[in-house]
Amino acid sequence: MSEATLCLLRLADEQHSLEDYQSGVPRWCPGCGDNAILSAVQRLCRDEGLRPEKTVFISGIGCSSRFPHYMKTYGLHGIHGRALPIAEGVRMARRDLDVFVNTGDGDCCSIGAAHWIHAIRYNMNLTVMLHDNEIYGLTKKQASPTSPKGLRSNTTPGGAWLEALNPVQVTLGVQNASFVAQVVDWIPELLYDVLHRAWKHRGFSFVHIVQRCPEWLPNQFEPFVRDPSKVALVHHERGLSISPSLAKVYRNQIQHDPRDIDGARKIASQRDPIPVGILYHDPSVPCYEDLRRGNQPPHSAALVKKGLEKQFDKFTIWPQTAEAAD
């Protein structure tokens, strides 16, 4: 059917409000950075008119992974560390959906690290938010891979032994990285802009969100929140442009071309001030689902049935014959 006919048959554009994407009352602690991420994502859904039934949020385990419960879209609260492979499966089977992934520093960088590395390499069209509060919050304060050296926690009472893992640097080090950004939860405007650009990028958009945990690490980012000079805004005509109001507050700025991966790695290595913005963007990296699927139609009823039968057959217990029973 031609585009013209489709237009003719399409309903009038639907208008969604923020509440249309809100499901239940978030159980995150007051002051938690997850709230900021939730409202930025809901704004994105509303502004881009994402249809709730065509949008899906996949998460693993952790505070951040409660995210899908609070979105009135499709969602799956998965198992620890496996948000990315589930999202990849959804993406492979249903290319008409917008797929978002919410994962935490424990979920992604610890048990899910292998999936994370390969998901970057696969470069499937997913928008991935890594909520990094540098601590296991849901299980009440254990050190995570991104906990800074010396951090006292229930598992490291004498202080963490190792240097923290830098998720942005890791991502930039993997082949086929196509969109890497870092943002902090306490600058809502920037958070929204970066997520918006990440969603628009076709490929694996990795957004590292530095996020406060008011319950277990209330002072961890306090200096950064209080002092705008401890945040550096990364901007470029090909990346983010900064609004005047933001520029007035955050004077510390870095001009960086997001095509420059070496520059991105250099910026990613700095921790104070925290660089925020789009560090790397290469729209030319092919998506795995495009390489694999070509022009094949999406899964058919027959294919689904065949696959299910095959799986069921693995568990079938064939009735024993009378002779064998004897």
Partner 1 sequence: MHGAFQDELAFHLTGRLRAATEGPAPEDGGGTLEPIAGRGLLPALFAPYADLAQLRHDFPLLLAPGKPAESLTAVMESALAGRDADDAEAASRLRHHGLRLERALRGLAAKKGALPLAEAWKEAGAELAAADPEIGESLNALKGAFPAKATLVPCDGALPIALLKHEWHRVQEERLAALRGEIETLVHGLENILAADFITSPAGRSPERLRATIGEALADHFDLAAMASLLDRGRTVATLQESRRSRLQALLSVLKGQRYAPLPGSDVTAHKLTFTSARTALKAWQERLPARAELARTLAMARLEVAGEYTESRHDALFARFDDRRASEALEAISVPSLVCLRGDDLQPDEAAAVLEAFAAGLPFKVLVQVDSLFDGEARLAPAAVLAHALTASAFGFADAAVLQTTSARLLAEIPPLQNVLGHRGPGLVTLFSGAGAEHSRIPAYLAAAAALESRVFPALFHDPAGGQPTSLAANPAADADWPEYVLDCEDSRQQRQKQSLAFTALDFLAADPRFAEHFALLGKGADDSHLVPAAEAADAAPGAAEQRLPFVLMADTAGRMHKVLADETLLAAAKQVLRRWRALRAQFTLPAPVIVEAPAPAAPAEAPAETPAVTAAPVEEAATDPDAAYIETARCSSCGACLLVNDKLFVYDGNKQAQIKDVSLGSFRDLVEAAESCPLAIIHPGKPRDPAEEGLADLLARAAAL
Give contact residues for partner 1 (rule: CB under 8 A): 1-2, 4-5, 8-11, 17-18, 26, 30-33, 35-36, 38-39, 42-43, 53, 185-189, 212, 214, 225-226, 235-237, 241-242, 244-245, 247-248, 253, 255, 295-302, 304
CB of 186 to partner 1, least distance (A): 5
CB of 297 to partner 1, least distance (A): 2
Please say which residue, 85 or 277, places its beta carbon nearer to partner 1: 277
Instruction: Closer to partner 1 by CB, 96 or 326: give it.
Output: 96
Nearer to partner 1, 269 or 300 (CB): 300
* CB 111, min distance to partner 1, A: 28
Q: Which is nearer to partner 1, 161 or 315 (CB)?
A: 315
* Identity of the residue, 147 or 220, whose beta carbon is nearer to partner 1 in the bound complex: 220
Residue 100, phi then psi, degrees to nearest 5:
-115, 150
36 vs 58 by CB, closer to partner 1: 36
168 in Cβ contact with 205 (< 8 Å): no
Nearest residue (CB) to partner 1, 114 versus 304: 304
Three-class secondary structure assignment of the chain: CCHHHHHHHCCCCCCCCHHHHECCCCCCCCCCHHHHHHHHHHHHHHHCCCCHHHEEEEECCCCHHHHHHHECCEEEECCCCCHHHHHHHHHHHCCCCEEEEEEEHHHHHHHCHHHHHHHHHHCCCEEEEEEECCEECCCCCEECCCCCCCCCCCCCCCCCCCCCCCHHHHHHCCCCCCEEEEEECCCHHHHHHHHHHHHHCCCEEEEEEECCECCCECCCCHHHHHCHHHEEEEECCCCCCCCHHHHHHCCCEEECCCCCHHHHHHHHCCCCCEEEEEEEECCCCCCHHHHHHCCCCCCCHHHHHHHHHHHHHHHCCCCCCHHHHC
Please report how close the Cβ of residue 162 comes to partner 1 at its closest, in angstroms.
Answer: 28
The whole-angstrom separation of Cα 155 and Cα 240 is 39
Q: Could you tell me the smallest distance in angstroms from the CB atom of residue 73 to partner 1? A: 14
Minimum Å gap between C-beta 192 and partner 1 is 8
**To the nearest whole angstrom, how small is the minimum distance from the Cβ of residue 293 to partner 1?**
11
